Amino acid sequence: MPTIAVIDYDMGNLHSACKGLQNAGATTVVTDAAADLAAADAIVLPGVGSFDPAMQHLRSRDLEHPIKAAIGSGKPFLGICLGLQILFEASEEGTEPGLGMIPGTVKRFQSEPGITIPHMGWNQLALTQPHCPLWRNLPDEPWLYFVHSYYAAPSDAAVQAATTTHGSQTVTVAIARDNLMAVQFHPEKSSTVGLQILSNFVQFVAAQQLAIA
């Protein structure tokens, strides 16, 4: 049973994500301690709110380097919502530098007739990395739940794992590169499909443990 550290940096309710991971067979440790990140088999970085406060809270807890070190070591890592955005270099939402693990920026949706900002509610994914571990046993165009006004724009299209369309804008809503994965939508609020994604991450972590053993 893998142990997954869920990072607590005062940016959202962690209960639902932990419950989904636990239902999939993981043991969760809610923490802001670098030692717990190092000891865990995998890390989940959730988040709700704004870019600058998120980065300030991470840096005030001296978590920036431990997060980067964990990702660099090959440890499975999943970012959720704001936890995806702060993996990038910068955001139009603020002035703080992001973690910079993925080249690119976070941009605001452009206003256009007939669409609302924030992009809120259920929307379909186009899976641009069909073999991403997160997508196992999912429908071809799954519906997920979103709440966001900003979206990630990676410099390298190869990291893009899924897109969705809001109005005339098609945007990246998931990225995957080796051990690093992140999603803009909320799997913990996305019914059975979202729970399957969390279960897929737990299974990926377990497979990595077996490979190391």
Q: Which of 51, 119, 53 is nearest to 91 (CA)?
A: 51
| Phi/psi of residue 79, nearest 5 degrees | -100, 145
Instruction: Select which of 119, 132, 166, 188 is catalytic.
Output: 188
At 102, the amino acid letter reads: I
Which SS3 state, helix, strand or coil, does residue 84 take?
helix
Determine whether 15 is an active site residue: no
Q: Which of 104, 117, 54 is nearest to 81 (CA)?
A: 54
| Phi/psi of residue 69, nearest 5 degrees | -65, -40
Distances (CA, A) of 18 to 44, 58, 181: 9, 19, 17
Q: Is the peptide bond before 118 cis (omega within 30 degrees of 0)?
A: yes
Which SS3 state, helix, strand or coil, does residue 162 take?
strand
Q: Which of 65, 58, 42, 51 is nearest to 8 (CA)?
A: 58
What value does the CA radius of gyration of the chain take, rounded to a whole number of Å?
16
Determine whether 186 is an active site residue: yes
Instruction: Select which of 57, 119, 148, 186 is catalytic.
Output: 186
Instruction: Select which of 18, 57, 81, 166 is catalytic.
Output: 81
Determine whether 132 is an active site residue: no
Catalytic residue annotation: 81, 186, 188
